[in-house]
Chains A and B, each alone.
Chain A
Amino acid sequence: MNIVVCMKETPSTTAEKSFSPDMRLERRKEDAIPNPFDEYAIEEGLRQQEKHAGSTVTILCMGPATATDTVRKALAMGGDRGVLVSDDALAGSDAISTAHVLAAALKKIGFDLVIFGNAAADAYGGIVPSATAELLGAPLLSYASKLDVDGSTATIERQADIGYNTVAAPMPTLVSVVKAINEPRYPSMKGIMASKKKPLDTFALADLGIDPATVGAAGAREKALSAEKVSTQRKGEIFIGNEGAADRVVAFLVEQKVL
């Protein structure tokens, strides 16, 4: 089985983040990590590979040229090779452009099973997986908390409004996973060493036959106008001690017309 995991590079949670004057996220290479949600996708790819002998796992990332380091961080968990799509014209791409690029790369790589995280920890979009599925004319088994592949069918469990659903799709299919699906492994020392030698191809837009004018800032359908710090003006009343605390809360709820 040809398994591809889509992994986005995101700034680490604790990194100082800011916008540049042209309203792009200022990315510092040393702060970049694989999107924490994509660790579940990578782990699931590796578990499927362990279950299905002869499978390969490719980590696919669209990002800046320096994201090779981030792809290698992902490959330290496991997997056979990395593919980075990188091109200066991609800077400022919106989610739909990203989906176009991933869809074209997936066609070029070939796939039976593509695994996504359910969202990226930078902007919490969560729309790239289904947009990519649409462009490939493929099904998406979204928000999977369990995945089984049997012959030419993939089946997931996902939380429904009440209880859970099982959902099945014919392969090739795309899947997006939630945190509940597994516990990602930590890269071992051996894994980190091995990742340095794994094949890592870089594709430019020309390799995918994509017109640079349709992606990146040039093709974006949305633009950022300005950013401002959020000031929360909360009352911040502090009540010290257990004695009378419950009554103060009730009085507060009554004052606020909640009770």
Chain B
Amino acid sequence: MSNDVWALAEIPSGKLANISLQLASKAAELAKALGGEPAAVAMGAGARDAAQDLGACGVSKVYASEGAVYGEYLAQPYVATLAALIQQHQPKLVLWGGTNFGRDVAARVAARLGLGIEYNVNEVALDGDQIVMSVPAFGGAQTVKMAFQGEGTKLLGARQNAFPTVRTGGSATVEDVAAPTAPANGAKITGTFGTEGAQEAGHLGKASDGHDIWMPAASRAKLEEAQIVVSGGRGLGGPQGFAQIEDLAAALGASVGASRAAVDAGWIPYGHQVGQTGKTVKPTVYIACGISGAVQHKAGMGTSSLVIAINKDKDAPIFGFCDLGIVGDLNVVVPQLTAAVKQRKGQ
């Protein structure tokens, strides 16, 4: 086995995901410490082009595999390519991101090759030859240190935004890899809908079974990748309350999150839910408006760098884990804040 460290890149809709840059940066750092080569595996449309950004984050080689088959099936073609590359080159570690794509691909590769796999990793440290990973437990109340055992390549799954993107400005050589043939009994993508008007923020209409399709503005980062998140809870008082949240988010260039109470009330679609049963976010700033701060909500945002809370109840639990707490009425403070941010930015 080599000491090489790889990053599994993810290129949804032909555009490299932020998590891939974070993984490439970490792969470069770990490979250097281990004396191996940092590389990335990029598959699907845009794989060769992705090499430039991946190289800029420090990987020296990109295994690039393009082919229509990747866009036609879930997981399986990616698994075929990645598993074959791992068998051929035996890297020490493959870093993958905790996205739906990452889970589906990495779990199949681990099962196929019988490899060790860890997930939700927030931090990695080397203790001699041992790779020590920090993983949250009990909704983030504790941190568990994990290590791999046994031989073979290990698959390390990182949480979104666990590792910073470090652009060192290098470049990577591209090694072309042939795409596999279509799986015999594959999960085949047969259609796409709900993309019309995806440039506009807001409600796009309803899916065939009646659920809402809600799209963030194209210019706005995905919730899990956002540097600023403005979230609203039951304190908004109704769906119209999210208009204020949208305005503040637009002024800050932020993404919109929500508590489960707001989602369950039907004020905003589930895709915006932050917390134990929703998304995990780790932005630089998380602004919670009218959210009490239940442990299940904290589980999804507790590792944000800075937390600002606006709540009219001075005893709300959220004030126990914020950097700046405003005890006030969000209906007054949020619009004023939006105006002040716009003024500051000269908008």
Stretch touching chain A among B24-32, B59-67, B86-94, B102-110: B102-110
Q: Which parts of B300-327 form the interface with A (CB within 8 Å)?
A: 302, 306-308, 310, 314, 319-327
A94, A137, A168, A225: the one within 8 Å of B187 (CB): A168
Residues of chain A within 8 A of B328, CB atoms compared: 239-242, 245
Q: Which parts of B113-145 form the interface with A (CB within 8 Å)?
A: 114-120, 132, 135-138, 140-145
Residues of chain A within 8 A of B13, CB atoms compared: 161-162
Interface assignment of B166: CB less than 8 Å from any CB of chain A:
no
B117, B339, B345: the one within 8 Å of A127 (CB): B117
Interface assignment of B79: CB less than 8 Å from any CB of chain A:
yes
The number of A-B residue pairs with CB atoms under 8 Å apart is 261
B79, B140, B191, B326: the one within 8 Å of A165 (CB): B191
B74 and A252 form a contact (CB under 8 A)? no
Pick from B104, B117, B323 the residue with the most CB of A within 10 Å: B104
Interface assignment of B50: CB less than 8 Å from any CB of chain A:
no
Q: Which parts of A240-259 form the interface with B (CB within 8 Å)?
A: 240-242, 245-250, 252-254, 256, 258-259
Interface assignment of A221: CB less than 8 Å from any CB of chain B:
yes
B324 and A235 form a contact (CB under 8 A)? yes
A127 and B215 form a contact (CB under 8 A)? no
B327 and A223 form a contact (CB under 8 A)? no
Interface assignment of A70: CB less than 8 Å from any CB of chain B:
no
Q: Which parts of A86-144 form the interface with B (CB within 8 Å)?
A: 94-96, 99, 121, 123-135, 137-143
Of chain A, the residue at the smallest CB distance from B278 is A179
Bound together, the chains give a CA A226 to CA B146 distance in angstroms of: 8
Stretch touching chain B among A73-81, A152-160, A197-205: A152-160
A127-B110, A164-B192, A165-B192 as given contacts; A225 in contact with B344, CB under 8 Å: no
B185, B337, B341: the one within 8 Å of A169 (CB): B185
A259 and B147 form a contact (CB under 8 A)? no
Tally of contact residues, B, Cβ under 8 A? 97
Bound together, the chains give a CA A197 to CA B114 distance in angstroms of: 39
B147 and A142 form a contact (CB under 8 A)? no
Interface assignment of B1: CB less than 8 Å from any CB of chain A:
no
B337 and A249 form a contact (CB under 8 A)? yes
Q: How far is the CB of A140 from the nearest CB of chain B, in Å?
A: 6
Of chain A, the residue at the smallest CB distance from B118 is A222
A37 and B277 form a contact (CB under 8 A)? yes
A166 and B270 form a contact (CB under 8 A)? no
B143 and A140 form a contact (CB under 8 A)? no
A121-B277, A222-B146 as given contacts; A95 in contact with B107, CB under 8 Å: yes
B144 and A226 form a contact (CB under 8 A)? yes
Residues of chain B within 8 A of A229, CB atoms compared: 141-142
A140-B104, A252-B324 as given contacts; A226 in contact with B277, CB under 8 Å: no
Q: How far is the CB of A174 from the nearest CB of chain B, in Å?
A: 9
Bound together, the chains give a CA A236 to CA B111 distance in angstroms of: 45
A145-B211, A230-B141 as given contacts; A239 in contact with B326, CB under 8 Å: yes
Bound together, the chains give a CA A94 to CA B319 distance in angstroms of: 37
A248 and B324 form a contact (CB under 8 A)? yes
B198 and A162 form a contact (CB under 8 A)? yes
Residues of chain B within 8 A of A27, CB atoms compared: none
A225 and B145 form a contact (CB under 8 A)? yes
B211 and A258 form a contact (CB under 8 A)? no
A157-B208, A226-B145 as given contacts; A166 in contact with B110, CB under 8 Å: no
A123, A127, A169: the one within 8 Å of B107 (CB): A127
A224 and B111 form a contact (CB under 8 A)? no
Interface assignment of B75: CB less than 8 Å from any CB of chain A:
yes
Residues of chain B within 8 A of A143, CB atoms compared: 100
B132 and A146 form a contact (CB under 8 A)? no
Interface assignment of A36: CB less than 8 Å from any CB of chain B:
yes
Q: Which parts of B321-347 form the interface with A (CB within 8 Å)?
A: 321-329, 332-333, 336-337, 339-341, 344-345
Of chain A, the residue at the smallest CB distance from B157 is A127
B187 and A96 form a contact (CB under 8 A)? no
Q: How far is the CB of A243 from the nearest CB of chain B, in Å?
A: 8
Q: How far is the CB of A239 from the nearest CB of chain B, in Å?
A: 5
Name the 10 nearest CB pairs between A and B, nearest first.
A221-B116, A163-B194, A127-B107, A163-B195, A246-B336, A161-B12, A131-B111, A134-B108, A134-B111, A130-B107
Q: List 11 A-B contacts (CB under 8 A).
A: A36-B277, A94-B116, A96-B117, A127-B110, A140-B187, A169-B188, A224-B144, A224-B145, A232-B302, A245-B336, A246-B340
Residues of B within 8 A of A (CB): 12-13, 74-76, 79, 100, 103-108, 110-112, 114-120, 132, 135-138, 140-150, 154, 157, 183, 185-196, 198, 204, 207-209, 211, 213, 215, 228, 252, 270-271, 276-277, 284-285, 296, 302, 306-308, 310, 314, 319-329, 332-333, 336-337, 339-341, 344-345
